[in-house]
Amino acid sequence: MNIALTHLQRLEAESIHIFREVAASFSKPVMLYSVGKDSSVLMHLAMKAFYPAKPPFPFLHVDTTWKFREMITFRDQMAQKLGFDLLVHVNEDGVRDGINPFDHGSNTHTHVMKTVGLRQALDKYGFDAAFGGARRDEEKSRAKERIFSFRNAQHSWDPKNQRPEMWKIFNTRIAPGESIRVFPLSNWTELDIWQYILQENIPIVPLYFAKERPVVERDGMLIMKDDDRMQLRPGETVESRLVRFRTLGCYPLTGAIESDADTLEAIVGEMLTARTSERQGRLIDRDEAGSMEKKKREGYF
């Protein structure tokens, strides 16, 4: 038999191993489902890991109320199609205070609606392990993080004091109130993700494909006007351009790229010639140096 596994087969096996390890070792795991391409791959892998059973944990979406409308539609379709248990959590305190990315800035908005929202949801259900789709190639503090990443009872990450992580032997022991964030895609790159989506024909949100969309040029980024809550600044005009998204988050904070790639093959082709990183399109990473690490220490994924 052909005994050399392909690169994607190796990555897939590693991720499946991680999923099963959590299911075997924790009493209440959950998968963070953020609806993007990495979440789609994560979900696909979870279905494979436990086949013929369904994944033995629910999926949680922390909704900031500012996601693209197409993301929400896609989320609900997937939950129905695959039959998984979907929990949606919104930080109601943030909604009551009217927190939004336009008036409060990306930092405050992300902290209140995403980080605090996530902490609320984890506490509410008492989850002791949470899967996330973060990859080490995304950002330099993520490059430093363990696959099983310990969080204290305040959900905080201590980057200077991480548990050694030897071989594939994971230390899953925690005290009550503590938890572990688990990253099955740690060793995948953005290109691996796209190649895997293409190989496995995994459904993704249509926003990843090029299409004429209404956008505004702002701070060097192309922001899509997804609904009427978008506040235009003086001099700004909405125009229709052929764009797609390389990464998805809250629509006012996510930059589109001009592209005509409307198939998976074309997207992979585009990836091969990319000269900028995907997080280039994320406003929240540029607020200050080390901003991702700071957010992670506060409990962000």
Partner 1 sequence: MRHIMAKSLAPTDGIRDYMAAQEKKSLLRFLTCGSVDDGKSTLIGRLLSDTKQIFEDQLAALEKDSRKHGTTGDDIDFALLVDGLEAEREQGITIDVAYRFFATPKRKFIVADTPGHEQYTRNMATGASTADLAIVLIDARQGVLRQTRRHSIIASLLGIRHIVLAVNKIDLVGFDKAVFDQIVADYAEFAQNLGFVSVAPIPMSARFGDNVTSRSERTPWYSGPSLIEHLETVSVDEAAAELPFRFPVQYVNRPNLDFRGFAGTIASGTVAQGDEVVVAKSGKASRVKRIVAHGGDLKEAVAGQAITLVLDDEVEVSRGNLLVSPAARPQVADQFAANIVWFDEQALLPGRSYILRTETDQVSATVTELKYRVNVNDFAHEAAKSLDMNEVGVCNLSTRAPIAFDPFAENRTTGAFILIDRITNATVGAGMILHSLRRAENIHWQSLDVGKRGRSDLKNQRPAVFWFTGLSGSGKSTIANLFEKKLFASGRHTYILDGDNVRHGLNRDLGFTDADRVENIRRVAEVAKLMADAGLIVIVSFISPFAAERRVARELMAEGEFVEVFVDTPFEECARRDPKGLYARALSGEIKNFTGVDSPYEAPEHPEIHLETLGRSPEEMAEALEHWLTERDIAEEQYDNGGGI
Question: Which CB atom, from 112 or from 221, has the smaller least distance to partner 1?
Answer: 221
Question: Which CB atom, from 126 or from 269, has the smaller least distance to partner 1?
Answer: 269
Minimum distance from residue 53 beta carbon to partner 1 (Å): 4
Minimum distance from residue 256 beta carbon to partner 1 (Å): 7
Minimum distance from residue 73 beta carbon to partner 1 (Å): 25
Backbone angles phi, psi at 149, to 5 degrees: -110, 115
Question: Which CB atom, from 124 or from 168, has the smaller least distance to partner 1?
Answer: 168
Burial class (CB in 10 A: 0-12, 13-18, 19+), 22: buried
208-247 burial code (b ≥16 CB/10 A, e <16): bbbeebebbeeeebbbbbbeeebeeeeeeeeeebebbbbb
* Three-state SS at 29: strand
Minimum distance from residue 9 beta carbon to partner 1 (Å): 7
Structure-token pair, residue 156 = 């905080």
Minimum distance from residue 226 beta carbon to partner 1 (Å): 17
Query: In Å, what is the CA distance from 101 to each residue of 44, 106, 125, 132, 250?
Result: 31, 5, 27, 23, 9
- C-alpha 183/C-alpha 232 separation (Å) is 38
User: Which pairs from 97-101 meet CB under 8 Å and 24+ separation?
Assistant: 100/66, 100/229, 101/66, 101/250, 101/252, 101/253
**Half-sphere exposure at residue 163, Cβ-oriented, CA atoms within 13 angstroms:** 17
Minimum distance from residue 116 beta carbon to partner 1 (Å): 22
**Contacts (Cβ under 8 Å, ≥6 apart) of 34:** 61, 62, 133, 248
Minimum distance from residue 99 beta carbon to partner 1 (Å): 26
Question: Which CB atom, from 98 or from 235, has the smaller least distance to partner 1?
Answer: 235
Question: Which CB atom, from 107 or from 187, has the smaller least distance to partner 1?
Answer: 187
Question: Which CB atom, from 126 or from 290, has the smaller least distance to partner 1?
Answer: 290
Helix pair 37-50, 190-200: axis angle to 10 deg: 60
Question: Which CB atom, from 16 or from 238, has the smaller least distance to partner 1?
Answer: 16
